[in-house]
Amino acid sequence: MRGRGKKCLILKEKRLPELQTDLSGYLYSEFDALQIDATIKIQVRRWLRSIGIAKKSNERMLIFVSAAGTCRCALAKVITEALLETRPPSYPLRVLAAAMYEPRLSGASEGARTAIKELFGRDLLADHRAMRLTPKLAEEADLILVMDHMMYDVLERADLNPGDFLKVHVLKPYFGLTGDIADPWAHREVSEANMLYLRTAEELKSILEQHVSDIVSALDPKARTTC
């Protein structure tokens, strides 16, 4: 893997005198064979943080959630990231999109990608990868915004720690608005599909333009209160 330029974690049992010859000179982390579960988890976690995959201790995490992770949450993610480029917070803020259920697609829907290109003039969703919201991801999150009340009710019954569910809010009511962000996926095959996706993207953009500063303030570690 190293020969192919891939990032690798090298683990060495702490009682082993030295690494084998072909790994000599590389940095490694130690684990204890008598405490495999605990010690390997710690080292893997540290490594994932060091390469920017796992959340770092000084980082804040915002997760948008929709049903399948390909439309509404993906739109909200890239819109928020675009807004943060012009109004960057004073602390590291990671924005993710996650699916309530198993994603239908591996990337963003064509309707979502078309809508984003219409709004921003470039395909900000080209590299989007759909992923499911897991209990571990919810544990790491600082704020979870779901697109509609139905998803909130489902998460309330889901396998989340009680403390993690306190981070979950319906997007529009979180900002003092009423209603839900409608799902355009159900209408993806009608002739007006692109118009419906664009309308969803415009609604999200309008809301987030007005309230991205509220998100930044709510997650600010220097003035942190319950979200």
- Map out the domains of the chain as residue ranges: 2-50, 60-223
Fold of 60-223: Rossmann fold (3.40.50)
Angstrom distances, CA of residue 158 to CA of 68, 147, 188 = 16, 16, 28
Q: Please give the distance of CA 193 from its chain centroid, rounded to a whole number.
A: 26
Token pair recorded at residue 10: 């090298």
Instruction: Measure the CA–CA gap between 35 and 50, rounded to whole angstroms.
Output: 23
Q: Distances in Å between the alpha carbon of 36 and those of 5, 17, 45, 46, 60?
A: 28, 18, 14, 15, 30
CA–CA gap between residue 14 and residue 28 (Å, rounded): 11
109/158 Cα distance (integer angstroms)? 26
| pLDDT tens for each residue of the chain, 227 residues long | 445 556 677 787 777 776 654 455 566 678 777 787 878 777 766 665 555 556 667 799 999 999 999 999 999 999 999 999 999 999 999 999 999 998 888 999 999 999 999 999 999 999 999 999 999 899 999 999 999 999 999 998 887 888 899 999 999 999 999 999 999 987 767 678 889 999 999 999 999 999 999 999 999 988 755 45
Output the pTM of the full model. Answer: 0.77
Question: Rounded to whole angstroms, how far apart are CA atoms 166 and 173?
Answer: 15
For residues 83 and 37, give the distance between their C-alpha atoms in angstroms, rounded to a whole number.
41
